[in-house]
């Protein structure tokens, strides 16, 4: 497949208060966010989401993903970095019979997942996906892989490629100019690797990742 396509176009744009985040940014808050625990998901905006709650915003995105990959009942889909399973839940709702699973490094998120996805979410890291080669009709990873250092990021992309054969979608943090980079650096808490789209394309190529991708801009 390999195309640059924004499968999150239907997601409502959130207004980010970059100034407030930049003011509060400290090594302590960064460290707290990187635990991916309560402080990150359901603590204050200074350490993460400031409340990561289901509100149905992923439903239109789930429809677009099903259409894009031509998914149908019986197909298996994996969401790497699934957090509380919002997208897992919505993919199953918009495509009855689709077998959707998630994986996340956060024990907290899995223990606070949506009731509909209990038993479908695996605790683990994107660098080692505990599933056979080619076992998914599509693998998704949204706003997650930039939380790895470059070598681990390459490993994670290879894992996604191994499971999906390139029927995949990856979205990561990026920017298009120096002003955007500065804004991003003021905002970011958890990302360990981020760069311009061209550099990302080089990373995808190095990993042999042939799936689809797009960027999150602050
Ligand atoms: C910005 S959140 C995105 C969550 C969800 N995909 C979304 O778009 O709403 C990043 C997620 O990546 C997870 N994460 C961070 N490092 C990870 C890793 N090495 N393997 C898997 N998940 C990881 C975090 O726990 C968190 O749930």
Q: What is the pLDDT of residues 105-136, one digit of tens each?
A: 999 999 999 999 999 999 999 999 999 999 99
Is the shortest distance between the CB of 153 and ligand 1 below 6 Å? no
In angstroms, rounded to a whole number, what is the distance separating the alpha carbons of residues 46 and 110? 22
Q: Measured over all CA atoms, what is the biggest interatomic distance in the chain, rounded to whole angstroms?
A: 48
This prediction has a pTM of 0.97
Alpha carbon separation from 134 to 14, 61, 163, 165, 197 (Å, rounded): 35, 24, 4, 6, 27
What the block records as the tokens of 32 is 């707290």
Reported confidence tier of residue 13, pLDDT bands at 50, 70, 90? confident
> In degrees rounded to 5, what are phi and psi of residue 123?
-90, 125
pLDDT in tens, 29-56: 999 999 999 999 999 999 999 999 999 9
Phi-psi region of 18 (alpha: psi -120 to 50; beta: other; left: phi over 0): alpha
- Nearest CA among 41, 126, 124 for reference residue 86: 41
Residue 132 CA to ligand 1 center (angstroms) comes to: 22
Read off the pLDDT band of 183 (50, 70, 90): very high
Mean pLDDT of 10-18: 87
Query: Which pairing describes strands 99-104 and 76-80: parallel, antiparallel, or unpaired?
Result: parallel
For the cut 80, the answer to whether the pLDDT of residue 154 exceeds it is yes
Say if strands 121-123 and 138-142 run parallel, antiparallel, or are unpaired: unpaired
Of 163, 124, 130, which Cα lies nearest the Cα of 144? Answer: 124
What was the pLDDT predicted at 22?
Answer: 86
Q: Is the CB of 81 under 6 A from ligand 1?
A: yes
Is residue 169 scored above 90 in pLDDT? yes
Indicate if ligand 1 lies below 6 Å from the C-beta of 43.
Answer: no
Pair 80, 146: CB distance under 8 Å: no
Residue 1: pLDDT above 60? no
Q: Is the CB of 136 under 6 A from ligand 1?
A: no
CA of 121 to the centre of ligand 1 (A): 13
Report residue 7 CA to chain centroid gap: 12
Distance in Å, CA 109 to ligand 1 centroid: 9
Query: Can you tell me the distance from the alpha carbon of 103 to that of 111, in angstroms, rounded to the nearest whole number?
Result: 13
């Amino acid at each position: 497949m390999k195309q640059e396509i924004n499968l999150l176009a239907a997601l409502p744009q959130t207004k980010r208060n970059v100034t407030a985040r930049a003011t509060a940014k400290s090594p302590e808050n960064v460290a707290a966010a990187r635990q991916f625990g309560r402080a990150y998901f359901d603590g204050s905006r200074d350490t993460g989401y400031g409340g990561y709650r289901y509100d149905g915003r992923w439903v239109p995105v789930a429809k677009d993903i099903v259409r894009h990959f031509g998914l149908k009942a019986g197909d298996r889909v994996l969401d790497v970095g699934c957090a509380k399973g919002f997208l897992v839940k919505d993919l199953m709702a918009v495509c009855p019979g689709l077998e959707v699973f998630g994986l996340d490094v956060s024990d907290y998120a899995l223990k606070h997942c949506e009731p509909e996805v209990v038993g479908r979410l695996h605790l683990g890291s994107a660098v080692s996906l505990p599933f056979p080669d080619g076992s998914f009709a599509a693998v998704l990873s949204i706003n997650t892989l930039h939380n790895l250092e470059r070598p681990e990021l390459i490993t994670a992309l290879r894992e996604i490629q191994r499971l999906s054969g390139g029927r995949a979608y990856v979205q990561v943090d990026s920017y298009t100019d120096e002003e955007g980079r500065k804004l991003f650096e003021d905002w970011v808490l958890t990302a360990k690797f981020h760069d311009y789209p061209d550099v990302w394309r080089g990373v995808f190529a190095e990993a042999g990742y042939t799936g689809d991708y797009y960027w999150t801009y602050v």
